Amino acid sequence: MTIFSELESQVRSYSRSWPAVFDRAQGSWMFDEDGKKYLDFFAGAGALNYGHNNPHLKKVLIDYLSDDRVVHSLDMFTTARRDFLEAFSKNVLEPRDLDYKVVFPGPGGANAVEAALKLARKITGRESVVNFTNGFHGMTLGALSVTGNSMKRGGAGIPLVHATPMPYDDYFEGEYPDFFYFERLLTDMGSGLNQPAAVIVESVQGEGGMNAARAEWLRNLAELCKKHEILLIVDDIQMGCGRTGGFFSFEEAGIVPDMVTLSKSISGYGLPMALTLVRPELDIWEPGEHNGTFRGISPAFATSAEAIRRYWSDDTLERSTVAKGMLVESRFNALVAAYPEAGLTAKGRGLARGLQFTDAQQAGQVCAEAYQRGLLMETSGPDSEVMKILPALTITDEELTHGLDIIDQCVAAVLGNG
Amino acid sequence: MTIFSELESQVRSYSRSWPAVFDRAQGSWMFDEDGKKYLDFFAGAGALNYGHNNPHLKKVLIDYLSDDRVVHSLDMFTTARRDFLEAFSKNVLEPRDLDYKVVFPGPGGANAVEAALKLARKITGRESVVNFTNGFHGMTLGALSVTGNSMKRGGAGIPLVHATPMPYDDYFEGEYPDFFYFERLLTDMGSGLNQPAAVIVESVQGEGGMNAARAEWLRNLAELCKKHEILLIVDDIQMGCGRTGGFFSFEEAGIVPDMVTLSKSISGYGLPMALTLVRPELDIWEPGEHNGTFRGISPAFATSAEAIRRYWSDDTLERSTVAKGMLVESRFNALVAAYPEAGLTAKGRGLARGLQFTDAQQAGQVCAEAYQRGLLMETSGPDSEVMKILPALTITDEELTHGLDIIDQCVAAVLGNG
Amino acid sequence: MTIFSELESQVRSYSRSWPAVFDRAQGSWMFDEDGKKYLDFFAGAGALNYGHNNPHLKKVLIDYLSDDRVVHSLDMFTTARRDFLEAFSKNVLEPRDLDYKVVFPGPGGANAVEAALKLARKITGRESVVNFTNGFHGMTLGALSVTGNSMKRGGAGIPLVHATPMPYDDYFEGEYPDFFYFERLLTDMGSGLNQPAAVIVESVQGEGGMNAARAEWLRNLAELCKKHEILLIVDDIQMGCGRTGGFFSFEEAGIVPDMVTLSKSISGYGLPMALTLVRPELDIWEPGEHNGTFRGISPAFATSAEAIRRYWSDDTLERSTVAKGMLVESRFNALVAAYPEAGLTAKGRGLARGLQFTDAQQAGQVCAEAYQRGLLMETSGPDSEVMKILPALTITDEELTHGLDIIDQCVAAVLGNG
Amino acid sequence: MTIFSELESQVRSYSRSWPAVFDRAQGSWMFDEDGKKYLDFFAGAGALNYGHNNPHLKKVLIDYLSDDRVVHSLDMFTTARRDFLEAFSKNVLEPRDLDYKVVFPGPGGANAVEAALKLARKITGRESVVNFTNGFHGMTLGALSVTGNSMKRGGAGIPLVHATPMPYDDYFEGEYPDFFYFERLLTDMGSGLNQPAAVIVESVQGEGGMNAARAEWLRNLAELCKKHEILLIVDDIQMGCGRTGGFFSFEEAGIVPDMVTLSKSISGYGLPMALTLVRPELDIWEPGEHNGTFRGISPAFATSAEAIRRYWSDDTLERSTVAKGMLVESRFNALVAAYPEAGLTAKGRGLARGLQFTDAQQAGQVCAEAYQRGLLMETSGPDSEVMKILPALTITDEELTHGLDIIDQCVAAVLGNG
């Protein structure tokens, strides 16, 4: 492993928790170079919703490449781009009665967020944005400025201004009415809040600690934005593409955001790809006003189109995700009950789930134990106090149960035998 | 083509100049869905230095995917990452006596720039950066703030501050000494220039109009930075990976930047990948202080390692690029001479070449003529006044000559028969 | 009046409500050029706490000028400066057991605020400041950025960043615990709140609508700041110099701010003068790091020293102010009771008092009626919904009662005979 | 002197060079409390153009105060304000054919600058401002951001952005054409310069080292601004009110700025007062959009009106100032000639004059020697390398010669006998 420590920057992080050298992967399993196998409850931080090297998508991908079809095309028209747009329109937008223009903002989630923020500011002529406590939206300057984590913010090296944080759902554990503060500031001409161009929000905060907003809270937020002519951006980079059940995490709430960001699992195969969806009347860009080299990675379009057709032409996957999510929830609730003095809390929605520890260190210890037992999962939350699982949506019940059994063992190892 | 206009944002640009729907590509050729072929002098804006679907890389890529090797890995250790680091170290860094730590900053060039700027600010505790007139570094907020183009800057929607532009080489056509103004501001305690953390510069400005800095200017810049303890960042996203001859565009000048950004052709196959290289003593990140979902796209590592081994283990490609560049130069010089009243200027270095028109519209007209004749090339420069060519480095002499012949015809069509 | 409309900018405001041309003034009375007299319940927006042309101060001032003593001295040592410092130290600081260094920041309140913010940022190395809803601190960029009023903020012409508003006392009418939100953001490492250098607060918000903070709230704020190592700046520009009873408005709460700003009535005679008080260990300025032409207006020092000696060597004025304040309060409470359907609210502390109208327009109408009846008073609050009175502290009981009688008439004229 | 060191912040600066305690002053003389007298070549940093306690103005001032006329009036109409406006219009604006609206922006120069910048941004909808190397405009955040001095800028505690410095006249000692760089950046759509709302400039830079711009340079600047629709703000705070001869320092150049700031000597007596003059069509403020407590200090209006009538109803003072300035110039030129090896440079215009030393320390030493000999003068320039004199315009020829004789002695004492 010398080469890594010699050559790679010390900014690397996952390789510190999981020092294995991984080589192959299939479905929910990863294999290191010594052949040891690991059940993957991390799934590329949500980038592998259909599992590693999903065989259906793999076939499409290899065929695409074998036929020497266009790989890199910026924003030129390609048959792959058309195929993707058709699949996305027919299977995702139309059935949900959603009318969006598609921006290809660049290869990653931060590009999608930057594009949304730029466009929101252009549309409204305002600079300020409202974000939420413990939100995470990316590491480029624009995206970082609406991200909560103080260590990550500190890395910017310049003051991150132009954003004001508001309390996310349940920030005060239900004690105070939703948006009582935000709305008061908006309506008070002397509040000192710069009128925001947009609100950016996640339906479930993954990095923030698997905090799931209630549907009602999201609806109230959407209404508040409409009332005050603020654009609503839902960042569905981690929670979209079926992670919480429906294709979009906000479907359950019945809202229609002004803009939506997608990335991570949108290609279906772990390839870089991102989208910013905008309501048609908001599409006021000049040609080329936002651009980028990697806006047209056709192999990603090919796997994306296939994933969408295969998994989103009916509700099989959605129902399966919800069911599996409920299984996880019941197992986590059992742990909460089994260790009453440990102060555990089960969190999340769909297959984005977390187990929060009162003693933050224990969450990390459980993950370390899991790695020893061949299970990959990580922590999240401001103090890394939440054990987070994001299994592939295509995980089998047996695999899921196997992983949950390991978690039981790890929790027991850390907390004592209940 | 209805689906594109119906669904895609009007921010799209290349598809306006080239309304064909492209389907397949091989080497220096692209094919639209009707089978019409186009000679590609654009090469993915420099992302396809080894041609479309390079067969050597294609084999490696398909093998990699076929074997179900890890595709997506964030910053986990993988065999593919190790293989890339070894190839890069052995064939790129060591022979050039360069000692850099490698940051995987995210999938695209803007990520590489954002990471460099963040780290430079963290290291120095200063916020300001000096950029150069007509520089281009990307479209996320941090990268955009050091980019010159006013239309693109306007898209930010907030004031882009923290950067002060200085004149690029030859900005005054040799009339004034290099850095006379910059150095004066640095040494004058009352100049009002915020002491910069870093200078960010391209050796050849591609988007800025194919402006090639003299080696001496780059050396003077490096010395100035050293003298005033300012970090020197060379953005080699478009001009690195052999575009100007050597692997890095700054080799010719014999300088060693504090940080280097790479992207575009680094994967060799048009797949998203980016690197930020930093001198070891500058690698002061905290683990995870910069991160991102697409920092470990192993198929790109695989093609990158193969491209590096194949093309950079000796100087064959470098010599070929220089030779082909000289061919282009002589042909462009001939055009300059043939149309004395048109005020043409030949620009660029290596296989990054431009032909500047006094009447900016003519540059676009020549490109439009070229498209009609099956040749893809675009304009650049602040007024789109430069006809720009970035052929694959692997282009054959015949193909190159064929394209240059078409250019002759197009120029004649626009300017009249000389 | 042609000359005013011809020559003066339309930014003027008070002359719109009170179109008389004033010529002379004495104590609580102003006289226009036609000899009409007006009882002044405005007192220079709090700059004339000892009345117009206070005869004791006038004598000192004319003597000072007659003797050709130094008028303008920047920050040179003068006998007048020494005399002021001695009087201030002996009568204001020492009896209150306060240990402050005195900064002479420039002629006006905004200079005092700018100096405090600059020093707080220098001390802490942080950029962000927390202000409060409906706070008012001045019109220069630094002071304006911590001011709430949206019309005034809009005048800045650049985004006002670096400040985050928090709810002032009673912003939610007692429904939520003090600082529940602020403290939560400070302790949550993922909140997205930039760690503030300082909090800036008024004990009573004059421009904000005569909102008086409870002593307990101020104590809790001081504790919170101490706990989180945030500097506490009390802006006592309008509410200091005895306006609420004690010399400093925060005395009642028993807190010791890290910095205090004073201006308005500090000279005692309406002459421009301002102070920034800082705890000795915070006085880390370099010589000349903050400066200004009008830091040493000695006539103002002379009247200030005399005012301090005359009015602050015992508690006569303080007791009188409190008593007069209670008289106003009882009269305002009577109005509240007399017009139950009008939804009036009595506000303020000491001789800073307000009567808030549910129908904002009525506040302005009452002031207009008062002007017709020879009484000067203005509105404040985000919607100009508060009728505000700031009589000279030296007003006689007869004058005060006379003015309050006029107010009764005006309220009746606007609301009907109750 | 204990009280000063015990109570006053260490930010104080002039009292370090001149540790006397001053008590009285008359004309060009100051007297310390021990009766020692000092010839004042500093004149309140330009705030005392008519000398200390000018007897004509003193009489008006004492009469005004004795009659209990209004002292403090915010922006209410007063007879004093009308009298000032009439005198200013008749004697200053009309004879020069200038058409300006008068803003009373607050008590000091920084307020005048802040008001001008705010209005320029509001008018143009742009945020950026161009300032000049070694410009000085004040210490509040907006004014500081266009000031050059790095120590003063550092005191801001936040990045000072929104301004880009351009080279002042003769910054390159005549080697390069005026505005070659500025104009190039303005016309190049890829330069990266944010289109400025305004340019702010001093005709002679006092703090910057007594740098006098040529009339031609100012005219070229005015033309450039007009051509590019940038507002031209001349900051005449130190150099206006006759300091260079004419009332406005820009008269000689024959330009008409869009906005002009005045302060320092505008009251004539060292009392705080400031004006922002704006062309009528630019007066787009909302009522109250800029305000402040000390916008109407009537005693300052009274002395100002008297000073204007007495000194600006004919050209006596102007001619006298020019003549005295030429006397100083010839004496300084003689010093330059007398000490060829010392590399002295005579600088300035009118009665704003400087003697620049190659060895910066010598400038300070000369000033220290002068203080010992009873002459008050200070240094300026980025390295404090310029011995600066700003005598009262009312100084007698004898006094002026006396001071210049002392300077000869001091220079000899420092440089040796030539």
The amino acid sitting at A293 is T
Q: Which two tokens stand for residue C10?
A: 């339309």
Strand B352-356 vs strand B375-376: parallel, antiparallel, or unpaired?
A: unpaired
The amino acid sitting at A2 is T
CA distance B394 to B384: 27
Q: Which two tokens stand for residue A282?
A: 């908001």
- Chain C neighbors (3+ CB pairs < 8 Å): A, B, D
* DSSP bridge partners of A379: A387
Contact B180 D167 (CB under 8 A): no
CA distance C154 to C152: 5
* Ranges of H-type helices in A129-280: 141-145, 150-154, 180-187, 215-227
pLDDT at B417: 65
In this model, does residue A335 exceed pLDDT 70? yes
Question: Does residue D171 contact residue B184 with C-beta atoms inside 8 Å?
Answer: yes
Residue from D381, D382, D387 nearest D414 by CA: D387
pLDDT tens by residue, C341-353: 999 999 999 999 9
Contact C158 B159 (CB under 8 A): yes
Q: Which two tokens stand for residue D266?
A: 């505008």
The amino acid sitting at D394 is T
CA distance A138 to C375: 59
Strand D231-235 vs strand D196-201: parallel, antiparallel, or unpaired?
A: parallel
pLDDT at D165: 96
Contact C159 A133 (CB under 8 A): no
Q: How confident is the model at residue B190 (pLDDT cuts 50, 70, 90)?
A: very high
Question: What is the value of pTM for the model shown?
Answer: 0.97
A345 and C CB contact within 8 Å: no
Q: Which two tokens stand for residue A61?
A: 């991908």
Q: How confident is the model at residue B100 (pLDDT cuts 50, 70, 90)?
A: very high
pLDDT at C289: 95
pLDDT < 70 positions in chain D? 1, 417-418
CA distance D298 to B194: 41
In this model, does residue C418 exceed pLDDT 70? no
Q: Residue D70: its chain C contacts at CB < 8 A? A: 22-25, 30, 52
Residue from A304, A98, A85 nearest B9 by CA: A85
The amino acid sitting at B250 is F
Contact A157 B118 (CB under 8 A): yes
A7 and B CB contact within 8 Å: yes
Q: How confident is the model at residue B175 (pLDDT cuts 50, 70, 90)?
A: confident
Domains B14-46+315-415 and B60-312 are alike in CATH topology: no
Question: Does residue B108 contact residue B143 with C-beta atoms inside 8 Å?
Answer: no
Q: Which two tokens stand for residue A205?
A: 């905060």
pLDDT tens by residue, A361-387: 999 999 999 999 999 999 999 999 999
Q: Which two tokens stand for residue A31?
A: 């294999």
Sign of the C-alpha dihedral computed for residues D353, D359, D364 and D370 taken in this order: negative
Contact D30 C106 (CB under 8 A): no
Q: How confident is the model at residue C148 (pLDDT cuts 50, 70, 90)?
A: very high
Phi-psi region of D222 (alpha: psi -120 to 50; beta: other; left: phi over 0): alpha
Strand B22-26 vs strand B29-32: parallel, antiparallel, or unpaired?
A: antiparallel
pLDDT at A175: 87
**C98, exposed or middle or buried, with CB in 10 Å at 0-12, 13-18, 19+?**
middle
Q: How confident is the model at residue C174 (pLDDT cuts 50, 70, 90)?
A: confident
In this model, does residue B418 exceed pLDDT 80? no
pLDDT at B2: 85
How near does any CA of chain B get to the CA of A253, in Å?
A: 25
What dihedral do alpha carbons C133, C135, C138, C142 form, nearest 10°? -50
Q: How confident is the model at residue C417 (pLDDT cuts 50, 70, 90)?
A: low
**Domains of chain B by residue range:** 14-46+315-415, 60-312
How near does any CA of chain A get to the CA of C162, in Å?
A: 6
Q: How confident is the model at residue A2 (pLDDT cuts 50, 70, 90)?
A: confident
Contact D172 B165 (CB under 8 A): no
Mean pLDDT (chain C, rounded)? 97
Please, which residues 199-238 of chain C have a Cβ atom closer than 8 Å to chain A? Answer: 208-209
The amino acid sitting at C115 is A
Quick one: average pLDDT of A403-417? 95
Q: Residue D188: its chain B contacts at CB < 8 A? A: 133-134, 148, 382
Contact B52 A70 (CB under 8 A): yes
Quick one: average pLDDT of A289-296? 95
pLDDT tens by residue, C224-275: 999 999 999 999 999 999 999 999 999 999 999 999 999 999 999 999 999 9
Sign of the C-alpha dihedral computed for residues B209, B214, B220 and B225 taken in this order: positive
Would you give the DSSP letter of residue C133? T
Q: How confident is the model at residue A174 (pLDDT cuts 50, 70, 90)?
A: confident
C67 and D CB contact within 8 Å: yes
Q: How confident is the model at residue B141 (pLDDT cuts 50, 70, 90)?
A: very high
Quick one: average pLDDT of B53-66? 98
Kindly state the percentage of chain C with pLDDT values over 70: 99
Architecture of domain A60-312: 3-Layer(aba) Sandwich (3.40)
pLDDT at B174: 85
3-state secondary structure of C317: helix
What are the backbone angles phi and psi of residue D352, rounded to the nearest 5°?
Answer: -110, 100
Architecture of domain A14-46+315-415: Alpha-Beta Complex (3.90)
Quick one: average pLDDT of A191-202? 97
Q: How confident is the model at residue A417 (pLDDT cuts 50, 70, 90)?
A: low
Residue from D396, D406, D317 nearest D29 by CA: D396
Residue from A313, A303, A317 nearest A268 by CA: A303
* Ranges of H-type helices in C125-276: 141-145, 150-154, 180-187, 215-227
D384 and B CB contact within 8 Å: no
Please, which residues 94-113 of chain A have a Cβ atom closer than 8 Å to chain B? Answer: 101-104, 106-111
Residue from C354, C350, C355, C360 nearest C395 by CA: C350
Q: Which two tokens stand for residue B133?
A: 């007139």
In this model, does residue A222 exceed pLDDT 70? yes
CA distance D258 to D254: 13
Would you give the DSSP letter of residue C349? E
Contact C159 A128 (CB under 8 A): yes
In this model, does residue C297 exceed pLDDT 90? yes
Sign of the C-alpha dihedral computed for residues B219, B223, B229 and B230 taken in this order: negative
> What residue ranges in C279-362 does DSSP mark as E strands?
345-349, 352-356
Q: Between B127, B149, B193, which is nearest D190 by CB?
A: B149
Q: Which residue has the tokens 């300017």?
A: B415
Q: Please enumerate in sequence order all residues whose Cβ is within 8 A of that of C411, keeping only pairs 6 or more positions apart, or say none.
A: C335, C339, C355, C366, C418
